[in-house]
């Protein structure tokens, strides 16, 4: 089994896709007006509109109601990325901070309120743990 994708259900697909394209620099691939994907070398962030929910099961997902998941992106230099996002990302939760497990993290919210973590391993242990994922 391979974990390949995380899907966000939103009321405004175009707005959320534009946000993630801007913060990640990854262009979206659109399948329909209700579904787009931002593919990285390791995983895919899928963004879908509320009209897709009944295709699975009516009422099975609620938009802009995430209170437990953090969407994480490994970046080369979190401090540089933070500078580049200044003025665009308006809901910064935590400025770049080095965490006890050795990652330097920038935590912010997307336009739907989902938590997003951009991080860079900065200690030897964190680099060793994540080094094979850096390429």
Q: What is the DSSP string of 64-104?
A: T--SS-EEEEE-S-HHHHHHHHBTTB--EEEEEEE-TTSEE
Same-domain status, 32 and 53:
yes
> Above 50 in pLDDT, residue 104?
yes
For range 116-130, the mean pLDDT: 95
> Above 50 in pLDDT, residue 108?
yes
Query: Domain residues for 126?
Result: 67-135
CB-based contact 92:107 (threshold 8 Å): yes
Domain with 84 in it: what CATH number?
A: 3.10.180.10
- Reduced to 3 states, what is the DSSP secondary structure of residue 120? strand
For range 81-88, the mean pLDDT: 96
Q: Which two tokens stand for residue 127?
A: 């680099």
Same-domain status, 16 and 45:
yes
Mean pLDDT (the chain, rounded): 94
Same-domain status, 73 and 35:
no
Q: In a 10 Å sphere around its CB, with 0-12 CB exposed, 13-18 middle and 19+ buried, how is residue 76 labelled?
A: exposed
For range 120-132, the mean pLDDT: 89
pTM attached to this predicted model: 0.93
Q: Residues for the chain: how many in total?
A: 135
> Above 90 in pLDDT, residue 69?
yes
Same-domain status, 4 and 28:
yes
* Amino acid 132: pLDDT: 54
* DSSP for 26-71, written as a single string: PPPEEEETTEEEEE-SS-EEEEEEGGGHHHH-TTS--TT--SS-EE
Helix (H) or strand (E) holding 116: strand 115-121
Q: What is the pLDDT of residues 23-67, one digit of tens each?
A: 999 999 999 999 999 999 999 999 999 999 999 999 899 889 999
Same-domain status, 46 and 102:
no
> Above 50 in pLDDT, residue 135?
no
Number of domains within the chain: 2
């Amino acid at each position: 089994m391979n974990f390949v994708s995380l899907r966000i259900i939103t009321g405004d697909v175009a707005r959320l896709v534009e946000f993630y394209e801007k913060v990640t620099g990854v262009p979206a691939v659109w399948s329909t007006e209700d579904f787009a994907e931002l593919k990285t070398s390791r995983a895919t962030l899928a963004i879908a509109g509320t009209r897709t929910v009944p295709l699975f099961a009516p009422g099975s997902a609620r938009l802009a109601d995430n209170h437990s998941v953090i969407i994480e992106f490994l970046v080369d230099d979190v401090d540089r990325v933070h500078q580049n996002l200044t003025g665009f990302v308006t809901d910064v939760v935590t400025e770049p901070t080095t965490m006890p497990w050795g990652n330097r993290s920038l935590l912010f919210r997307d336009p739907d309120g989902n938590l997003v973590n951009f991080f860079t391993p900065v200690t030897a242990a964190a680099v060793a743990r994540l080094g094979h994922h850096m390429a």
